[in-house]
Amino acid sequence: MILGMVTPPCRALVNLNDGRDKIHVTGNVSFAWDSNIFAHQGGGGDYVMSAGLSADYTRKAGLIGVDAGMAVNASRFNQFTTEDFKNPSFNLEFTKQSGRTTGSLALSAARESRADTAANIRDQSWLYSAGLNLKYPVIERYSLSGGVNYSFHKYQDNNALVDLKSYSANLDLFYVYTTDRDLSGGYRYRQENTSADSKNTDHAFTVGLSGKILSKLNGAINGGYQIRNSQDIFHTSTLSGVVDSQFTSWTSSISLTWSLSKKLNLSGQLSKDFSTTSTNNTTDTLMTSLNASYTFSAKISASAGVDFSNNRFLGLSGGGRVDTYFSSHLALNYSLNDHLKASLAETYAINWSTSSYADFSRNSTVLSLSSRW
């Protein structure tokens, strides 16, 4: 599925209305060895075969553009056959890119099967999301951007994990500092409710810079301060009550790209934010990554990168747990033509945790083939 998303545009399988409506179909298959499919200490390894099929519809005509897609992905495990899955996904997006007010309305639903590094088990869940984002120019140099978003993460066949509903709204003011550089300031409100009757309310205040950061460095830098108010409801055989907590921290979202040459590109990301895990814990998570891609020829390219994250589990329920995660990956990509792509990737990851059960290492090798029409 990832290969299908990064495939360069090619001639559509179906063209309608003089090419304004296009339909693409992507098929992919992969063969993998994963040394720790459960992401916990002593977790077993297995060979996994996966296949997927997706169809995408695009309309770029008139005032409103449409992007829609549906896909199904299935995996078969050689030894742990109870982990086999078939996961569908759906997405629909309406975009308006002309006129004074621009924006998008996006809807999606997908079933996921994954190794949960917070619970250290494999789980299955449905993830539903909806979001409306708009941008409006106030005067020549100033514009407002805002949005409202909703998501619902519902776990299946596991009463130990909590479902999570999230509501958020944001408002940002942009100022055109130069022709290729914008300054911004904004506020984000977010509320998270779990099926365990806990509630988290976040307030984040940020400032940012986007566009051309330096001569060959482009992207966006945002940072600021955030506050989380948590309310946990507990029940025991003898008593019940409410525990109120407040956490504060800096927050950031950085994404940069540096074009060293026509063949070599570097990209980096950094983010820091509060989140709620499937085990009903609040975490303060710092994540950063650095990736490089090099194009040898029109058909052959390679990429490599490293990822690092630090997860601090907060409050009494967190028990002082801290996870430090590091991974590195290397991939070789081959493109025969617009319709056939191949990739061979190797990944190694290790998680150092104050919880012995969550202290693990994991490596995988994946051969993938993808075709888009």
Whole-number pLDDT of residue 157: 83
The sign of the CA dihedral 212, 224, 169, 131 is positive
* Structure-token match 């083939």, residue found: 369
pTM score, whole prediction = 0.89
- Burial annotation 94-107 (CB, 10 A radius, 16+ → b, else e): bebeeeeebbbbbb
Which of 89, 155, 154, 151 minimizes the C-alpha distance to 121? Answer: 155
CATH code for position 80: 2.40.160
Task: Express each pLDDT in 236-288 by its tens digit.
Answer: 656 666 788 999 999 999 999 998 888 999 999 999 999 999 999 999 999 99
Query: 57 lies in which domain range?
Result: 2-372
| Residue 249 token pair | 């921290």
> Which tens digit of pLDDT belongs to each residue from 148-182?
999 999 999 888 899 999 999 999 999 999 989 99
> What is the rounded CA–CA span in Å between residue 147 and residue 333?
37
Please state the domain count of the chain. 1
